Amino acid sequence: MAAPAAAERTTDSLLNPANKTNHGSETSSVAPKEPPDFVVDFVVKEVGSDLKSLKNVGELLEKLREENMALEEQVLSVSSSVPPKVSAALCAAEEARCSLEELLQRERLVSNKLHQHLQGAQPWMDRLGQTFNQVDIIERHLKYLRCLQHIEELSAAVQQCLMTSSVWEAIRAVDSMAALDAGLSQSGCSHLQDFLRETLHFWHKIIKDRLANDFEKILTQLHWPIISPPTQSLTPAANSQEISSQLDLLVTQLLALQTSDDLISQRASASSQGAPSTQMVSTATPLSQEPPLCLPIQIMLLPLGKRFRYHFYGNRQTNSLSKPEWYLTQVLMWMSNSSAFMEEKIQPILDRAGVAISARVELCRGLLCLVQEKVASDASRLLYDDVLFCHLVEEVLQFEKELRSNQSYPAVLPGLLHLLLDDAILQKWLTVEKKMAVEKMDAMLSAEGAWSSQYKDISDMDELKAPDCAETFMTLLQVITERYRALPCPSAQLKFLGLQRELVDDFRIRLTQVMKEESRCPLGPRYCAILNAVNYISTILGDWGDNVFFLQLQQAAVSLGEEVLQGLGVIELGRLASLEGSLFEGLLGLLDRLKGDMMGRLLEWTMREITENAKPYCQDRWLSLPSQHDQSTMTLSSSACPMMLCVRDRLLHLHQVLSLSLFQLAWQGLAERLDNFLYQDVILSNHFSDGGAAQLQFDMTRNLFPLFGHYCKRPENFFKHVKEAYIILCLNIGSALLLRNLLKESAEEVRDWAITGDPSPESALNELGVYCLAPCDVLILLNLKASLPGQ
């Protein structure tokens, strides 16, 4: 409707121009308003600027009248159609309201009838509920009695089978009892469950004892347990075939009894956990989480368990807290000696029975239970004896290593290391480790040969020239790493890593203290040995940062977060997570800072000695030296000899006492300082004749540079200021004048080099081999040439 209204307004304005005039008169003396823009645009579009087209105005007015009438008809038709629709909607709403009231009235009637019916039926429902409850109670009683009868039938069947020596049927009946017990686990019939479990335990013990007795007799005939290394029998026993078949039968029957045995053992362990235990149980890998041992292996372990407790408990001499290696070695020997028997005699029976277990691993697991109990008991008694505690930890680590390597014990099964993760034992281990490490650091730093390298006479092995104290210290850290590497808990490993970081920082502080005492003579052997030690430790820690083991620890540290990485910010944690940094990054920064400080002291001391010997050379009469053409042969300036000898001696000395990487930094730093010194104190502080410039070039290229040429191919690249300075000083007069004019014009900015096409000052200097010196520096050097006019 907006567009027709606009067109109507346009029509009215065109048909009644007087309206606009009258409107203007009503607004006092204000000038009449201009017609709207859309009106002007409409007139221009339809009439145009041609006066001849005004004849079309009549047709245009007629057309607008027709459009206006059409719009009026549309408005009238729409307005006339609205009331019927509204009235129809109102009628429909009224009908819906009436229908809803009718439905509500019917709902009330039905609800009243239903309520009356329920009240009448309630007595029947109460009587039926009582009847159903009685029926339900009777059914439960019947089920209870049937279950009790089934238990008695199974018990009678087991008794009958045992009387007729039908062991297999008895085992099946016991298995049925075990299955019934599992089905009643959620039942509330506690007395029935107790009766069933007592019955099951009774018959299971009888069958197990009978089979165990027969199994032990067969094992005795097979010379089990094997205490000493087995020997190859020359002649097999006469009844070996019968023994093998009986062994096969008994092992298979014991395996069939495994289900009920596991059920009974799990219930016994659950009841024992409810009571307070006097044994130390590790929180890292609870032994109760392991599956129960195979029943035949349990019986085979009985004689070994008796021997173990006989020798290593009580008042026996073999039960010594100072000798844990006795029982650990004994158990390893039993494992090794029994390995062939388990593989040849027991494993084939297990395979034929479809049991997916390893007989050898099961035996090792059973023997480990004996050792775990003994180690846990001894460790708790040794918490206040550092020496014996350390010995126990060493023996446990060695036992674990041999168990995994020699006995091929699976890594997924726990050995003994989880016992060391108990809070008290782990904290004691860390305390003793730190105490012993600090004592060893004190001893290694105070030893007589602490600052000499043990490989000093072997050039191929003495690149790092690490003093004995630094090498011993890093060996100490490596031994600590090897001790805690096998721990199954990353958080415990990170605690030892934190101890190592603390020890490194402590050793750095000790080196700093010794360095300050030796800083009065930085060229002394002990000062250089300390510098080598810092470099050696930094190099080794850098290599450790790329080691797979420490990278895995780094990821574990990031995942554990602040609890192991205290003091690190978000940026450091992000760098560790992205592997940009390492766990030793902070220590490496401190070591590098110490190394840089020590290297700076060393070079400053060396340069002080060189500059002292270079004073005659700085004060030489460069202006009065004869031209090169006036000399038959050129020789080294006599005033330069002390300086050259000092440089040579110091380079040789540093090469002998510093490691290769440190010496590389030393001679390069010395070359940089010497370059600045010669440029400032020799070249810029004197004027040079042509002979003086040639002599300077000869002294540098034929004497100084070759001293550094032993350690690099192009030593002049490390003396850029001196090299470029004597290039400028040795220019002939013509070239020097042209260059000076060019540089002066450049300084005065009187020429645009891009427009004139002349070479720029930089390109001209580059053609001469000058890249380091700025044009203003070259101008200063040119002013030092005595042969140039105007000097």
Contact 742, 761 (CB under 8 A): yes
Tell how many helices (H) and how many strands (E) occur in the chain: 30, 0
CATH topology of domain 424-567+576-596: Tetracycline Repressor; domain 2 (1.10.357)
348: nearest Cα among 253, 257, 239, 252 = 252
2: nearest Cα among 94, 61, 71, 80 = 71
Q: Which residue has the higher pLDDT, 743 or 707?
A: 707
**Structure token pair of residue 611:** 């500059």
Q: What is the mean pLDDT of residues 113-131?
A: 87
C-alpha pair distances (Å), 334 with each of 329, 349, 380, 491, 493:
9, 21, 26, 34, 31
Least reliable range by pLDDT among 175-189, 262-276, 671-685: 262-276
Contact 595, 534 (CB under 8 A): yes
Q: What is the pLDDT of residue 785?
A: 87
pLDDT for 40 beyond 90: no
**Structure token pair of residue 595:** 């190394």
Q: Which range among 85-99, 257-271, 326-340 has the greatest average pLDDT?
A: 326-340
Residue with tokens 């009844």: 239
State how far the Cα of 689 lies from the Cα of 614, in Å rounded to an integer: 20
Q: What is the pLDDT of residue 725?
A: 93
Amino acid at 135: V
Q: List pLDDT tens digits, range 488-523.
A: 999 999 999 999 999 999 999 999 999 999 888 888
Least reliable range by pLDDT among 110-114, 218-222, 275-279: 275-279
Q: What residue segments make up the domains of the chain, in order of their start? A: 291-420, 424-567+576-596, 616-784
State how far the Cα of 272 lies from the Cα of 286, in Å rounded to an integer: 14
Q: Which residue has the higher pLDDT, 283 or 651?
A: 651
Q: What is the mean pLDDT of residues 590-609?
A: 95
**Structure token pair of residue 520:** 């009065």
Q: List pLDDT tens digits, range 444-501.
A: 999 888 898 877 666 555 678 899 999 999 999 999 999 999 999 999 999 999 999 9
Q: What is the pLDDT of residue 30?
A: 41
Q: Which range among 344-358, 541-555, 565-579, 665-679 has the greatest average pLDDT?
A: 665-679
**Structure token pair of residue 618:** 């700085």
pLDDT band at 19 (very low <50, low <70, confident <90, very high): very low
pLDDT for 8 beyond 70: no
Q: List pLDDT tens digits, range 129-161.
A: 888 898 988 988 898 898 888 889 888 888 888
Contact 535, 592 (CB under 8 A): no
Q: What is the dihedral of CA 185, 190, 196, 198, to 10 degrees?
A: 120
SS3 688: strand
Least reliable range by pLDDT among 5-9, 212-216, 397-401, 524-528: 5-9
Q: What is the pLDDT of residue 758?
A: 62
CB atoms within 10 A of CB 461: 11
CA atoms within 13 A on the CB side of 437: 25
688 forms beta bridges with 785
Least reliable range by pLDDT among 42-51, 251-260, 726-735: 42-51
State how far the Cα of 361 lies from the Cα of 328, in Å rounded to an integer: 17
Q: What is the pLDDT of residue 1?
A: 41
Compute the C-alpha angle 537/542/546, nearest 5°: 145
Q: What is the pLDDT of residue 6?
A: 42
State how far the Cα of 90 lies from the Cα of 44, in Å rounded to an integer: 52
Quick one: angle between helices 324-341 and 359-381, nearest 10?
170
pLDDT band at 287 (very low <50, low <70, confident <90, very high): very low
H-helix segments, 235-358: 240-256, 258-274, 295-312, 324-341, 347-352
533: nearest Cα among 639, 659, 641 = 659
Residues in CB range of 689: below 8 A, 6 or more apart? 622, 623, 624, 625, 627, 786, 787
Q: What is the pLDDT of residue 260?
A: 80
Q: List pLDDT tens digits, range 300-357.
A: 999 999 999 999 998 989 999 999 999 999 999 999 999 999 999 999 999 998 888 9
pLDDT band at 177 (very low <50, low <70, confident <90, very high): confident
State how far the Cα of 51 lies from the Cα of 476, in Å rounded to an integer: 112
C-alpha pair distances (Å), 384 with each of 170, 408, 431, 435:
55, 34, 11, 14
Q: What is the mean pLDDT of residues 556-566?
A: 68
Q: What is the pLDDT of residue 3?
A: 42
785 forms beta bridges with 688
Burial class (CB in 10 A: 0-12, 13-18, 19+), 528: buried
Q: What is the mean pLDDT of residues 511-540?
A: 93
State how far the Cα of 37 lies from the Cα of 84, in Å rounded to an integer: 42
H-helix segments, 485-569: 490-518, 525-545, 548-560
C-alpha pair distances (Å), 416 with each of 311, 319, 420, 595, 773:
20, 19, 7, 43, 71
Largest CA distance in the chain: 147
Q: What is the pLDDT of residue 558?
A: 81
SS3 785: strand
Q: What is the pLDDT of residue 187?
A: 80
**Structure token pair of residue 288:** 């109760």
pLDDT for 172 beyond 70: yes
Amino acid at 356: A
Contact 705, 716 (CB under 8 A): yes
Amino acid at 445: L
Residues in CB range of 43: below 8 A, 6 or more apart? 14
Q: What is the mean pLDDT of residues 9-28?
A: 40
Q: What is the pLDDT of residue 310?
A: 93
Share of the chain residues as helix, strand and coil, in percent rounded to the nearest 5:
75, 0, 25
Amino acid at 122: Q
pLDDT for 565 beyond 80: no
Q: Which helix or strand (DSSP H or E) is residue 386 part of?
A: helix 386-405
Q: List pLDDT tens digits, range 738-790.
A: 888 888 887 766 555 545 556 678 888 888 888 999 989 999 999 888 888 76
Q: Which residue has the higher pLDDT, 235 or 279?
A: 235
In whole angstroms, what separates CA 448 from the centre of its chain? 41
474: nearest Cα among 513, 444, 448, 446 = 444
CB atoms within 10 A of CB 541: 22
477: nearest Cα among 433, 531, 534, 535 = 433
Q: pTM of the entire structure?
A: 0.74
State how far the Cα of 73 lies from the Cα of 277, in Å rounded to an integer: 103
H-helix segments, 164-189: 167-183
pLDDT for 234 beyond 70: no
Q: What is the pLDDT of residue 13?
A: 41
Compute the C-alpha angle 19/25/28, nearest 5°: 150
Contacts of residues 131-138 at CB distance under 8 Å and 24 or more positions apart, as own/partner, are none
What is the percent of the chain where pLDDT is above 90?
45
pLDDT band at 97 (very low <50, low <70, confident <90, very high): confident
What is the percent of the chain where pLDDT is above 70?
82
Q: What is the pLDDT of residue 577?
A: 63
Q: Which residue has the higher pLDDT, 238 or 60?
A: 60
Contact 569, 623 (CB under 8 A): no
pLDDT for 276 beyond 50: no
Q: What is the pLDDT of residue 327?
A: 95
State how far the Cα of 398 lies from the Cα of 416, in Å rounded to an integer: 10
Contact 607, 677 (CB under 8 A): yes
Asked if the bond preceding 225 is cis, omega within 30° of 0, the reply is yes
pLDDT, averaged across the chain: 83
State how far the Cα of 225 lies from the Cα of 304, in Å rounded to an integer: 7
Residues in CB range of 643: below 8 A, 6 or more apart? 610, 613, 614, 617
Q: What is the mean pLDDT of residues 90-98?
A: 87
Roughly how many angstroms between the first and final C-alpha of the chain, as a whole number? 98
Q: Length of the chain, please?
A: 791
Residues in CB range of 432: below 8 A, 6 or more apart? 386, 389, 390
Contact 614, 644 (CB under 8 A): no
pLDDT band at 443 (very low <50, low <70, confident <90, very high): very high
pLDDT for 127 beyond 90: no
Q: What is the pLDDT of residue 791?
A: 58
